[in-house]
Amino acid sequence: KGDLMAGKRGLVMGVANQNSIAWGIAQQLAAQGAEMAFTYQGEALERRVRPLIESIGMDTMISADVTNDDEMDAAFATLKEKYGKLDFVVHAIAYAGKDELKGSMVHNTTREGFARAMDISVFSFIDVCRRASEMMEEGGSIINLTYLGSERVIPSYNVMGVAKAGLEAATRYAARDMGKQGVRVNAISAGPMRTLALMGIKGSKTLMSAGRDMSLLGEDTKMEGVAGAALYLLSPIGASITGEVLHVDAGFHVVGVPEPSEE
């Protein structure tokens, strides 16, 4: 417990269940004194998400599908009414169809699937930055979640890798657009974590085991580390950091060739 986020109010987008990265981050922020509102995707998730939110003493939950402009308008209107100004945003949302997250990208990505993955995983971030900037006139901090599939070829990641490359570029442009108003914008590139989103990728077990066995630390990426990085980037101790992609993956991203098992 601490007070790094005392007096700060923010929005957390992307809690689906207790394994969600957004939930790990929210718990850490609450322990440091942050007050948060949560958006979730549709009424079906409400029953799962509400008890989580209440367990950390929060109660503002807004249903918002990021592809629905009316819901997004309503969500930010509610936020404005409740908080007036916003200090931080956590964007932890991505989507690609199951058929796109297997086999090869060249054969499995349709025009429609591509557009949907980009809309939910990239445009939604740009849209949220624009909406949040109006409530961040005195500065703030925004983060999103990305993955190494943007930089390297990862089995089955396919169109999501292209989307994450777009998201990371969007992070840099948003950092430019909002820099002069004192808003920092950064991405966390997390190693594989056992969440609903990961389970949607064919071969997710291999992503997990390679992410652990080939990593420098030889361990799974810990939620504690991802949430700690979020706290760092969202709090005043992350001052002067913007436009950055911070890897939290037990060092996997710097490995070229795995260590030989025997010589």
Identify the CA nearest to 248 among candidates 260, 261, 231: 231
The size of the interface with ligand NAD (CB under 6 A), counted in residues, is 25
Site for ligand NAD in 27-56 (CB under 6 A): 41
Q: Which stretch binds ligand NAD (CB under 6 A): 29-37, 51-59, 91-99, 103-111?
A: 91-99
Using rule CB under 6 A, residue 86 touches ligand NAD: no
Q: Which stretch binds ligand NAD (CB under 6 A): 61-69, 99-107, 128-136, 178-186?
A: 61-69
CA distance 93 to 169: 16
Q: How far is the CB of 21 from ligand NAD (least distance, A)?
A: 4
Is the CB of 8 or the CB of 247 nearer to ligand NAD? 247
CA distance 70 to 205: 38
Q: Which stretch binds ligand NAD (CB under 6 A): 62-70, 77-85, 106-114, 238-246?
A: 62-70
CA distance 260 to 7: 51
CA-CA distances (angstroms) from residue 171 to 146, 163, 186, 193, 246? 10, 12, 6, 22, 12
Q: How far is the CB of 117 from ligand NAD (least distance, A)?
A: 10
Q: How far is the CB of 193 from ligand NAD (least distance, A)?
A: 4
Quick note: the x/- pattern for ligand NAD over 64-83, rule CB under 6 A, is: -xxx----------------
**Neighbour count for residue 199 (Cβ, 10 Å):** 11
Using rule CB under 6 A, residue 225 touches ligand NAD: no
**205: its two tokens:** 């077990």
Hey, which residues are catalytic here?
A: 147, 157
CA distance 177 to 189: 22
Using rule CB under 6 A, residue 11 touches ligand NAD: no
Dihedral of CA 185/189/194/199: which sign?
positive
Q: Which residues contact 62 (CB under 8 A, 6 or more apart)?
A: 37, 38, 39, 40, 74, 75, 78, 79
Q: Applying CB under 6 A, which residues contact ligand NAD?
A: 14-16, 20-22, 41, 65-67, 92-95, 120, 145-147, 190, 192-193, 195-198
